[in-house]
Structure 1
């Protein structure tokens, strides 16, 4: 027999995948229950409403992204490499992004469109990315430009994900990654030049 905590985790994982592939509004309780292969009664034991599931999915996404950023902090020994990890995620997840867009961006956009009460909570993921990127740019010595640089990279990633989904063009994604990495090198060179002067 599957433990209650494991069933709950399976429900959240299934809902996470379905919300990404189909959208929150297009996914029903029945869709999620069918994906997990449990009865509606067992389903309602864990979650009474779809909004409860949405909050659990957002919590999962926040936790997963915190773990990912922490891993990059541990494994990449300098800020430039950590920012590059963030930039290259559009290539690492290219197949899914071309099919469904960015999992973070698509959810925040959908919740904003329907003025859902959980939209601010979903936006915490974007804020998490923005704050983390700002920290990396500060480490590079970008000072007061750190926030602007962080938002530039975050906006770039969302734009590339949107166009990757629209056009399904791998070469475009790779070109854009190359361009933003060149921009990053220029930012670093400018910062180093300012230190010399």
Structure 2
């Protein structure tokens, strides 16, 4: 028998995928019920509104990012290696980003009207990434204001690369963005 949290997790994961592929506005609770295999009436036991479901999706974005950053910190002490590992982990979803865009950016945009709380929660992912990059750059000796600017530039490179690669349906565009991020964050020392 499936436990309550299992069904809740299934609904959130299903919603996340549908919001990403189809869009938040056009995805109905009926779509989520059909895709998840959980009857529509049962969804209301876990989520009263689609906005509540959006908050659950945003929570997944934050939790997965926190888990990724924790695994990077635990993997190596060297800040340059941590930054390279971050780029590597971000590049693992290259194909799906080219196909569908960035689920986080789309969530922020799409949730903003019906669920501003979910949009703000999803935006925390970008703050987490900027903070992580800035701290690691600071550990290399870069002054805090420069580290913060560079962290924002790196995130803008990643997001711009996703958008352009998605629009052009060309994975090489995003691969090039990852190479530019690497040069920005871990320049070759002479």
Same fold (TM over 0.5): yes
Segment drifting more, 81-90 vs 166-175: 81-90
* Offset at residue 3 of structure 1 (A): 1.2
For the structure 1 residues 111 and 54, does the alpha-carbon distance in structure 2 shift closer, same or farther, using more than 3 Å as the test?
Answer: closer
2:153 is matched with: 152
Q: Is the 8 A contact 1:11 1:36 kept in 2?
A: yes
**1:1-197 matched pairs, under 5 angstroms:** 1-112=1-112, 114=113, 116-118=115-117, 119-144=119-144, 145-186=146-187, 189=189
Q: Residue 2 of structure 1 aligns to a residue in which SS?
A: coil
| Long gaps (5+) in structure 1 | none
Q: Is the 8 A contact 1:87 1:157 kept in 2?
A: no
**Normalised by the size of structure 1, how large is the TM-score?**
0.87
* Offset at residue 102 of structure 1 (A): 1.3
* Offset at residue 11 of structure 1 (A): 0.6
* Offset at residue 81 of structure 1 (A): 1.9
Q: Is the 8 A contact 2:72 2:82 kept in 1?
A: yes
* Offset at residue 89 of structure 1 (A): 4.2
Larger radius of gyration: 1
Measure the CA separation in 1 of the matches of 2:174 and 2:122.
25
| Long gaps (5+) in structure 2 | none
